[in-house]
Amino acid sequence: MKNRALWLGASALAFVWSGSAAAQTETASPQGAEAVQTEGDGEIIVTATRRNENLMTSAISATVLTGNDLENRGVVNVDALQFAMPSIVVNNFGQGNDFNVRGIGKAEHNTQTTTGVITYRDGVPSFPGYFQGEPYYDVANIQVLRGPQGTIVGQNATGGAVFVNTNDPVINGGNHGYFNINYGSYNEAGFQGAVNLPISDTFAARASVYASRRDSFYNITGPGGADYAFDRGDVGILSARLSLLWKPTDNLTLSSKTDYSWLDMGAYPASPQGNYYRTLPGTNTPNPNYRDLFDVSFNAPQAARDNMVRQIFKAELETAGGIKLRSVSSYQWGNTMYRADLDGTSATVFTGTSSSFYDSVDEQQVTTEFNIISPDNGRFTWLLGAFGVWNDYHFRRPYEFIIDVAYPFNLPASQYKLQGNNLTHSYAAFGQLGFNITPSLKLEAGARYTESKSTNEVDVIQYG
């Protein structure tokens, strides 16, 4: 039986370097609402709820993995994360991913149903369910909050929230960074690295990059065993990030992060249910109908490619009284293109069924959040905030969403076609009060008002 397991590539070369300034005792802590800090006594301080809280004593039900944890466990994407954290299941259906936390999330994927678990990238909600194949590189930490979120955690979510926080530039941190190169089975080759660039006493930048490629797991043939002329499932990924941090005064912090990703997943081949046992169950008798799961035959094209850009701006001002004014805004654009042989065979309409699928969909999302936060060390604490998200799915014209049940004859009577827009928006206002009854007992109460709307403006041609 062919060995189809993909072994983790052995690191061929890995370096971490630092300049002379890295030996200084003064360092800048990560900026942003979701940083994780480790105290000297080993306590983990999380700020996913907009405050510094000890994970062991707070009311948060969460799991946290640092960047080193991810590296040690070989977690480079969302599919691998489910094997490194408890209570997580990731549904990858090809053109998107959905989280389920404690069995709660989303089972049916479409643009009109909100996802049950929101993924945040550096403090802003990412595309709901799509473009989640973005690799984890130069990551500071990942926090998974279990249970319903939404009172003060950005966008509403019934199952939980996932916070992916990347490393920030370090002002006066010297020239330091890392890079590594890996190679593994199926000619998997990858590179990632980052460098901190101190520009002045108040300004620093950080640049990071990730690149990876791999041959397909599948042996694909065309009709009658002929050569398959389309994408065979080879994977190619390129991602880059530029982070800027400016601290003109002790009380004002401004930051920017720009992400770009080209995610060519090649294809997601699939074949009809078959008999994949080499021997008959319970015997050593060879199975005459045995088929290798990874030997497939198609006649329609396969493809899976995401292309996206994300821009994040953060600003935080701390008043003389310790009150923080915080703003986090983002703009995201992406295009997802997907092709599939729906019947999973090389059959034609003359020998059976022959169905194909194609779509090319643009998505734009704008988010903004504003918080006013009282000092953390008072007996009485409070937080006020407002949040908004605007999302537009654009099904490209003319009719770049096509289900064809008589491929490749391009017959109007055999095609379901769609074009148009799916527009959604959500606005929220929220607040929270806290009172420390004793040093080890705190009472909190929060409230939130949310207004959401989804509108379809689409044209459909249904088999005719």
> Which domain CATH number covers 160?
2.40.170.20
Instruction: Report the length, in residues, of the chain.
Output: 464
- The answer to the question of residue 2 being in a domain is no
Residues 6+ away with beta carbon under 8 Å from 114: 106, 128, 156, 452
| Tens-digit pLDDT profile for residues 353-379 | 789 999 999 999 999 999 999 998 889
Please state the domain count of the chain. 1
Range with the lowest mean pLDDT among 3-12, 30-39, 79-88? 3-12
pLDDT at 41 over 60: no
Helix (H) or strand (E) holding 79: helix 78-81
Grouping H, G, I as helix, E, B as strand and the rest as coil, residue 70 is helix
Whether 4 is covered by a domain: the verdict is: no
Helix H or strand E segment including 71: helix 67-72
Any idea which residue has 């908004």 for tokens?
388
Give Cα separations from 445 to 50, 372, 380, 383 (angstroms): 15, 16, 12, 11
Token pair in block for residue 75? 């977690």
Is the residue at 274 inside a domain?
yes
**284 lies in which domain range?**
10-462
Radius of gyration of the chain (CA): 25
Q: What is the pTM of this model?
A: 0.86
Is residue 343 a part of any domain in this protein?
yes
Torsion-angle region of 40 (φ positive above 0: left; ψ -120 to 50: alpha; else: beta): alpha
% residues pLDDT > 70 (the chain): 82
Cα–Cα dist 60/46, whole Å: 9
Evaluate whether 305 touches 337 at the Cβ level (below 8 Å).
yes
Instruction: Let me know if residue 3 belongs to a domain.
Output: no
C-alpha angle with apex 383: 381 to 389, nearest 5 degrees?
Answer: 165
pLDDT of residue 301: 94
What is the structure's pLDDT at 26? Answer: 34
Using one digit for the tens of pLDDT, what is the confidence trace for 223-241?
Answer: 888 999 899 899 999 999 9
Q: Tell me whether residue 1 is in a domain.
A: no
- 412 — phi, psi (to 5°)? -55, -35
pLDDT band at 144, cuts 50/70/90? confident
Q: What's residue 35's pLDDT?
A: 43
* Weakest mean pLDDT among 36-45, 158-167, 432-441: 36-45
Q: Are 391 and 128 in contact (CB under 8 A)?
A: yes
